[in-house]
Structure 1
């Protein structure tokens, strides 16, 4: 018997013109039968433009009023340091073991997908966690750990990620500032099955290149440290172990942001589903074990200062807030539904006009655009 709870709320993989509902509610209200659609399909020619405030600030205030003890969950956790050390060690050991294995051999590719992609996705999310200063009490040790966690990824990005990600939290969905949202060119070119397949295969490149195209950052000393440490490590690695070991790390990073089960979180977190104007979705399944509980994404955006080890406690503390909103039950099925369903695509994101400008290179201001009528 099929366990449909693993299929993101779907009731059929081949159901008619209207796609099956893909979100689930742990504690539904009387108005939620788990099957109905609250709104007609979104216009695939444009994003969903909202005039409302992003939802996390208001929910954070409501939770703090209802559960003032939530402040006890805030603050860094030392567990992140040891997980980073373990995963970096696994990646370096695997790169060493594959130093004489041809990159096109099945052993090399399998290791890069199963071990490498899972490990580097873990390190992506370790950097995400460290970005919020949740590994140490002070800022500088957090930045140093992020640079260290970046080493097996093969390309320096931890310093740039921090600035873009903090803006993503402060300006969720704001046009020209939140670089997590696809561009209009992506909407135009990728709004079909083949385009979405291309997007899912090369997700890592979109997330790496899109921010710099939309708005470049001011280069800081930490950007320089990140680049120099990565170049030095890459040089030592290639000099001593050869190019195959470096290619293993690069292939691992590519697979981590491609058609990999853990990569489902990229789409699951902020794309719109089932006619809902819900900007953030959580996932409470077993892949959280490998990904710093990033699936607890509503909880994370509500309280960015609560570390990954205590996000399940946050949800348990305020079930009346979290169990009544839709969540995803399967990251792999999120990828599958994203590709096959015409009612979701690059357009399925909520946007709002920027409330303020944010400095870019040399103090340049972000551009504001008028939503399509």
Structure 2
């Protein structure tokens, strides 16, 4: 018996990932061991005996470019770059403290600078969750709380355990909370539904994990909440609520229809699904695409 990774729902090939890992026979033509009432569930997914596409792609890269292993490990420059990004966002929040949130200047800066900066913060927290900023895990966790400041709401401490589950249980419908739910697949598979998902995916990304599985609340979570709300309180008291609104709006733009949000598409979505989606496929559809453009300068080469 091997594990099969379900890679994508056929009716959501460009924006609705699939979501389960189930034992199946070695025979690629044998029917999965499901009851009759599970037939529709079977037809909803691509089934394969191969490992997940991330593993396959990693092996291909290492085989073709073995020197890439020299680039693995923590990057000392991360903390300096991130510090500058956080300071830039704090400076803009102060600058906009008396500016109407509906004004062109406020919206333009939130989208044109804040969106890039906060996506940088999101992805820096991702890098830190893999302990790539410092050698010691605790230092990565604490610095994540600092990088969290421009996001406006406590996020970094929860991201770490959920993201670890994503890597450990890739494709599992219970623990991989990066995968959209069946509700999302059913109601957001149309063009309008996908447009809605792409526009507001930051909310799906933030709220979905809490509805899927629970994680243990630790002192790092408490520290993240206290630090973030303390900074927000100081900003509101001395600069006004518009400064905090700038942070929140920047976060929304960063995870919405924004150039830097394109990495979600590069990392997780399928563009060329198998024609016979209800059959077993020998090789999982590729759902990770490389990007070599200028946006890598602000996204930590996340889709390189």
Superposition RMSD in Å:
2.0
SS in 1 for 2:265: helix
Matched positions, count: 253
Aligned CA distance change for structure 1 residues 200 and 57 (closer, same or farther; 3 Å): closer
TM-score, normalised by the number of residues in structure 1: 0.64
Distance 2:229 2:127 in 1: 24
**Structure 1 runs (4+) greater than 3 angstroms displaced:** 55-71
Distance 2:167 2:88 in 1: 31
Task: Name the counterpart of 1:98.
Answer: 96
Q: Deviations over 1:181-240 (max 9, x none)?
A: 110000111111211111111010010011111112111111111111111111111111
Task: Name the counterpart of 1:161.
Answer: 159
Distance 2:164 2:46 in 1: 23
Distance 1:65 1:194 in 2: 41
* 2:286 aligned with 1:288: no
Contact kept in structure 1, 2:266 and 2:287, CA below 8 Å? no
* 2:242 aligned with 1:244: yes
Q: Deviations over 1:280-314 (max 9, x none)?
A: 22222221111111112xxxxxxxxxxxxxxxxxx
Q: How many angstroms does 1:70 deviate by? A: 4.4
Task: Name the counterpart of 1:203.
Answer: 201
Q: How many angstroms does 1:65 deviate by? A: 6.7
Unpaired stretches in structure 1, ≥5 consecutive residues: 1-42, 297-373
Distance 2:84 2:212 in 1: 35
Aligned CA distance change for structure 1 residues 78 and 196 (closer, same or farther; 3 Å): same
Distance 1:210 1:127 in 2: 18
Q: Deviations over 1:354-373 (max 9, x none)?
A: xxxxxxxxxxxxxxxxxxxx
SS in 1 for 2:180: coil
Q: How many angstroms does 1:128 deviate by? A: 0.6
Task: Name the counterpart of 1:221.
Answer: 219
Contact kept in structure 1, 2:101 and 2:242, CA below 8 Å? yes
Task: Name the counterpart of 1:138.
Answer: 136
Task: Name the counterpart of 2:256.
Answer: 258
Q: Which range moves more in the overlay, 95-104 or 268-277? A: 268-277
Q: How many angstroms does 1:55 deviate by? A: 3.5
Distance 1:131 1:67 in 2: 25
Aligned CA distance change for structure 1 residues 99 and 71 (closer, same or farther; 3 Å): same
Query: Which of 104, 111, 115 is 1:113 aligned to?
Result: 111
Aligned CA distance change for structure 1 residues 194 and 55 (closer, same or farther; 3 Å): closer
SS in 1 for 2:202: helix
Aligned CA distance change for structure 1 residues 126 and 51 (closer, same or farther; 3 Å): same
Q: How many angstroms does 1:68 deviate by? A: 5.8
